[in-house]
Amino acid sequence: MLAFLPWLRLRTPVVEGPFQLFPQGVGDVLPAGVASTVAPETMAKVLGQYRDSANVPLRVVPVLQYDGRPLGADFDETDRDAIFRFGQHLAVSGMSDRRFIGGFPDDYTASGHYQVIIQAFPDPYTGSINTTHRRKGGHANVFMGQGDVHFVRPAHLVSQGEPTLNLRLLTALQAFQSLPKGVHEHVEASVTQFLLANSDSPDVSLEAESIATYAALERVSDSSQKLVDIQAKLPAILALADGSPWTARLRDELELPAGTERSVLHAWLQQIYALRGNVAHGKSAHWAPQQWSQQEHLIAGAFVYPLVLKCRLAQHGLYSLNEEDVARTLGLEKLLGDRPFFEVPPKTAEPSEPGGPTAEPTDELALGVLAMRDEAWLRMTRWQRQFDVINDALLGLALSGTIRGVIEQYESRPAGDVAAPDAN
């Protein structure tokens, strides 16, 4: 058997516990240290059947080695479950830092990019294949001859840029299995729902994604089916970010009030709860008043869920929130509240906004730089602007840390040493 992820664009190997995932050139020699019982020409035939959306054979396919076994070893049902679970965790780690601000190519990935294939074949391999498809009443087998076997990447899985894999999150998700069953089952259920909600497949309706989005949030926060429960539990999990060493400084940078109330998040949860209820009972996806569209709920859910997941894992000591996690969690109120998300606001820049008239330029060069920044800011959607605000807060945090380090370096010098501190 051979396990691989044909639709994932992977540049560097990923090693996590018993899993080693590496990019393999079709027809190339295997990396040093990777054993195989499969003849090179057989592996080239197997991988060569997978093609991009233009029906061109893939040149590189990520191959998965499990538990140090040679490629070609058989996998029993337990092995396959572990491999498919790893694929799900890898997908979440690859989608956890998406920003949805556009750009091409970017690091956007959908769950389908992380599809794991486990293929059994004879060696030597002639190229024909028998596939088994599940049915409600059992299964169906389909035989394809050597000339018919072409697996083409689904058109909705567009070509990727470099996917950003949060390997710390991947490690935490794998380690979460060691916690008591009653604890990790809800997180695993939330992962399944999150991936369903982020399939991008035209075969999955927006209504199904809406139900799955809310289900993911409900399960990851260990909430009941009552609105009041998720409105209490989910914000409480996110409140873990309030105890970080960066919180006070980031609140200042984001111009947030001192309190921890999340009124916008509460309103958003109420409306996605209503949306889920409507579509689950066969009613219209729309309701009044409508502050967020169905599409905006899906975008927001795909951004909020990973933040809740990270905080939940951090509660169990398996994940450590970094500056970006904290800034995005704190910035949720402004991000969710500035809607419509993808509307470009009228061309007015307030003095307090990045890109607004904040200073008098002293020369033509400075004037030109400010004008360019103003114009770029005015072309941004509301969603992009709020991310710009968050990024500016992170930059301010980094600069304050640098300045503090320079001061501490200066103050720690021996008495009488007046040489300028090294800021580099």
Number of Cβ atoms within 10 Å of the Cβ of 252 = 13
- Do 126 and 215 reside in the same domain of the chain? no
Across-strand partners of 25?
60
**Strand 50-51 vs strand 151-152: parallel, antiparallel, or unpaired?**
parallel
17/366 Cα distance (integer angstroms): 52
pLDDT at residue number 262 = 92
Q: For residue 335, is pLDDT > 70? A: yes
Q: For residue 152, is pLDDT > 50? A: yes
Rg (CA), the chain: 25
pLDDT at residue number 349 = 47
Q: What is the helix, strand, coil percentage profile of the chain, to 5? A: 50, 10, 40
pLDDT at residue number 129 = 79
Q: Which residue has the higher pLDDT, 372 or 357?
A: 372
- Do 16 and 127 reside in the same domain of the chain? yes
**Domain limit, last residue, from 290, 318, 343:** 343
3-class secondary structure, 313:
helix
Number of Cβ atoms within 10 Å of the Cβ of 354 = 17
- Which two structure tokens, joined as six digits, stand for 230? 């998720």
Number of Cβ atoms within 10 Å of the Cβ of 388 = 17
Cβ 200 vs Cβ 130: under 8 Å: no
Domain ranges, residue 107: 2-152
The stretch 252-256 carries a mean pLDDT of 91
- Do 212 and 337 reside in the same domain of the chain? yes
The structural domain count of the chain equals 2
- Do 145 and 7 reside in the same domain of the chain? yes
- Which two structure tokens, joined as six digits, stand for 416? 């009488």
Q: Give pTM, 2 decimals.
A: 0.85
pLDDT at residue number 374 = 61
**Domain limit, last residue, from 325, 343, 361:** 343
Task: Note the maximum CA span of the chain.
Answer: 86
The per-residue pLDDT for range 294-322, each reduced to its tens digit, is 999 999 999 999 999 999 999 999 999 99
Q: For residue 280, is pLDDT > 90? A: no
User: How many residues appear in the chain?
Assistant: 424
Residue 117 domain-assigned? yes
Number of Cβ atoms within 10 Å of the Cβ of 262 = 20
- Do 27 and 113 reside in the same domain of the chain? yes
- Do 327 and 185 reside in the same domain of the chain? yes
pLDDT at residue number 423 = 44
- Which two structure tokens, joined as six digits, stand for 275? 């949306």
List of long-range contacts for 211-214, beta carbons under 8 Å, 24+ apart? 211/276, 211/279, 211/280, 213/272, 213/276, 213/297, 213/298, 213/301, 213/302, 213/305, 214/272, 214/273, 214/275, 214/276, 214/301
pLDDT at residue number 103 = 59
Residue 370 domain-assigned? no
87/19 Cα distance (integer angstroms): 10
Mean pLDDT of the chain: 86
pLDDT at residue number 189 = 96
- Do 69 and 121 reside in the same domain of the chain? yes
- Which two structure tokens, joined as six digits, stand for 226? 């009552």
Residue 239 domain-assigned? yes
Under the banding of pLDDT at 50, 70 and 90, the label for residue 140 is confident
The per-residue pLDDT for range 60-81, each reduced to its tens digit, is 999 999 999 999 999 999 999 9
